[in-house]
Amino acid sequence: MTRTATRPARLDQACADAVEVARAAIIEVPAEEIGVHEGVVAEGDRLVTHYFASLQPGYRGWHWAVTVTRAPRSKLVTVCETVLLPGNGALLAPGWLPWEERLRPGDLGVGDLLPTAPDDDRLVPGYLLVDDPEIDAESWELGLGRPRMMSKEGREETAQRWYDGDHGPTAAITEAAPRHARCISCGFMLLMAGSMKQMFGVCGNAYAPDDGRVVSLDHGCGAHSEVVIDAGPPVEALPTAYDDGAVEEV
């Protein structure tokens, strides 16, 4: 079996010389937004693409591509198509992602529906054990009231997200609080159930910024139940303007 080498397209000189014809075909933008001629490429027999730099705002690194052609034994060059193409270093929009990969925490609004995929590894069927005695007991006592329960992987992912977030030990409010003001010793701390109570609780202090939120046990703030404000040393009494210790006899 023999292979026939593909012959590269020969540059048609008449089409290559039609620079102004190609430039005039770009009617989508004003003439001042079309830059210098960057060269030509032979696409096929009597088929040539001209490239022009784009000066449009927001299209840095892009160029216009105008393909021209002519009929055999004809001197008339005609335009096939014009298109704006990105070049090396061009600013491009991010690649398309499915909606479930674009979704971020907080995107769900009032009235929105967010279906959970059947194969979501954060959940397991409700009839399976999930390695948490309290959750397992609840599942068996209630029967199949919940079709799915949070899996071990789902709980570990949730715990890591909470711990690394704004309600964990590295939050700015924790670092600014007194050293001893940690949630584990706060009277307003409400411990969670199950294995999560080893790391997390819910703040019940109405005056704390984390009220009603899950916080790590080593989180903290200035509203700790045992925070004491140091009043400082007592202030010495100032001398009076007159001597009230002497008694004048009348």
Task: Give domain status of residue 22, yes or no.
Answer: yes
pLDDT at 29 over 80: yes
Task: Give domain status of residue 80, yes or no.
Answer: yes
Task: Give domain status of residue 154, yes or no.
Answer: yes
Amino acid at 197: K
pLDDT at 109 over 90: no
Domain final position from 86, 110, 131: 86
Range of the domain at 46: 13-86
- Residue 57 maps to which CATH number? 3.10.450
- Buried b / exposed e over 124-163, threshold 16 CB at 10 Å, is bebeeebebeebeeebeeeeeeeebbbbeebbeeebeebb
The whole-angstrom separation of Cα 126 and Cα 115 is: 18
Higher pLDDT: 60 or 19? It is 19
> Do 22 and 44 sit in the same domain of this protein?
yes
Dihedral of the alpha carbons of 31, 33, 38, 41, in degrees to the nearest 10: -70
pLDDT at 135 over 60: no
| Average pLDDT taken over every residue of the chain | 83
Task: Give domain status of residue 17, yes or no.
Answer: yes
pLDDT tens track for 156-209:
899 999 999 999 999 999 999 988 899 999 999 998 887 888 899 999 999 899
Percent of the chain with pLDDT strictly greater than 70: 80
pLDDT tier at 141 (50, 70, 90 boundaries)?
A: very low
> Do 145 and 184 sit in the same domain of this protein?
no
- Mean pLDDT for the stretch of residues 26-48: 92
pLDDT at 25: 94
Higher pLDDT: 113 or 22? It is 22
pLDDT at 172: 92
Task: Give domain status of residue 95, yes or no.
Answer: no
Task: Give domain status of residue 169, yes or no.
Answer: yes
Higher pLDDT: 236 or 163? It is 163
Task: Give domain status of residue 98, yes or no.
Answer: no
Overall domain count for the chain: 3
pLDDT tier at 106 (50, 70, 90 boundaries)?
A: confident
pLDDT tier at 114 (50, 70, 90 boundaries)?
A: confident
> Do 140 and 169 sit in the same domain of this protein?
no
- Residues in the chain, overall count: 250
CB–CB of 222/178 below 8 Å?
A: yes
> Do 22 and 64 sit in the same domain of this protein?
yes
pLDDT at 78: 95
In this structure, the strands spanning 200-203 and 189-191 are antiparallel
Amino acid at 16: A
